[in-house]
């Protein structure tokens, strides 16, 4: 291993925090609800902000989370849904709140969970066929590479975040081009239809 780095099990880097919130409790009524559908695959980006998340969703048992946690989506782990919330709330029990241990960067650990190697390992230990779920106990035995100091971990997380932002901007630019192409195609067909009608009227 490169000097300054170590191989450690995920269980050495974080722990599960399954604090239950009764959906009928007064506490539940004050917390926004987060489900798997609110998390983008691979990036962990939340598809709704806190203000858009309903307070009255999630009628079954939920887990509490706050900005300290990583939320790991155990249902269909190939979807690779791992989020880092910036607010307190409650979530479906298909999302497992994980607490990073001291001197472990939450952001770097989040990227470790999103790695293709981690996803593949989760799928190997999955249970169920139609609706596979990751076996958390087994998943947390996976050894992963990590810098020994949190400053280097944060620096690497910054670099990954920057590269992912570049990709996001490229996707947005490509989507704009695709929209323009679609509009151009529609305009050409409209012009063709008008020409056909004009020729029929001659």
For each of the domains in the chain, give its residue range(s) and CATH number, in order of start.
Answer: 5-148 (3.90.220.20)
Instruction: Give 74-99 pLDDT, tens digit per residue.
Output: 999 999 999 999 999 999 999 999 99
CA distance 62 to 35: 10
Q: What is the DSSP string of 135-192?
A: -HHHHTT-EEEEESSHHHHHHHHHHHHHHHHHHHHHHHHHHHHHHHHHHHHHHHHHHH
Burial 37-66 (b: 16+ CB within 10 A, else e): ebbeeebbebeeeeeebeeeebeeebbbbe
pLDDT exceeds 80 at position 72: yes
pLDDT exceeds 80 at position 53: no
pLDDT band, very low/low/confident/very high, at 1 (cuts 50, 70, 90): low
Q: Residue 89: its pLDDT value, please?
A: 94
Average pLDDT taken over every residue of the chain: 91
pTM for the full predicted model: 0.84
Q: Is residue 130 within 8 Å of residue 74, measured between CB atoms?
A: no
Which residues 6+ apart lie within 8 Å of 37 measured at CB?
Answer: 47
Please tell me the chain's helix, strand, coil percentages from 3-state DSSP, rounded to the nearest 5: 45, 20, 35
Instruction: Give 182-197 pLDDT, tens digit per residue.
Output: 898 888 888 877 777 7
Helix or strand or coil: residue 87? coil
Residue given tokens 């690779």 in the structure block? 80
Q: Residue 58: its pLDDT value, please?
A: 60
Long-range contacts of 134-137 (CB under 8 A, 24+ apart): 134/72, 134/74, 134/77, 136/16, 136/72, 136/74, 136/96
- DSSP E strands in 19-87: the ranges are 20-21, 33-34, 62-65, 70-73, 82-83
């Amino acid at each position: 291993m490169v000097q300054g780095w170590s191989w450690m099990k995920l269980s050495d880097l974080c722990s599960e925090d399954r604090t239950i919130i009764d959906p009928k409790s007064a506490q539940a009524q004050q917390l926004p609800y987060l489900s798997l559908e609110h998390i983008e695959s691979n990036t962990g980006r939340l598809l709704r902000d806190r203000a858009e998340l309903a307070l009255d969703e999630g009628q079954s048992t939920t887990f509490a989370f706050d900005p300290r946690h990583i939320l790991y989506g155990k249902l269909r782990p190939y979807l690779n849904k791992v989020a880092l919330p910036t607010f307190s709330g409650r979530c479906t029990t298909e999302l497992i709140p994980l607490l990073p241990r001291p001197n472990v960067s939450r952001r770097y650990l989040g990227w470790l969970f999103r790695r293709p190697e981690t996803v593949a390992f989760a799928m190997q230990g999955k249970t169920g066929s139609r609706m596979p779920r990751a076996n958390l106990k087994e998943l947390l035995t996976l050894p992963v590479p990590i810098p020994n100091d949190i400053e280097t971990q944060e620096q690497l997380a910054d670099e990954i975040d920057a590269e992912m932002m570049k990709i996001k901007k490229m996707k947005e630019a490509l989507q704009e081009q695709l929209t323009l192409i679609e509009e151009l195609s529609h305009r050409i067909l409209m012009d063709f239809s008008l020409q056909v009608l004009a020729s029929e009227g001659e």
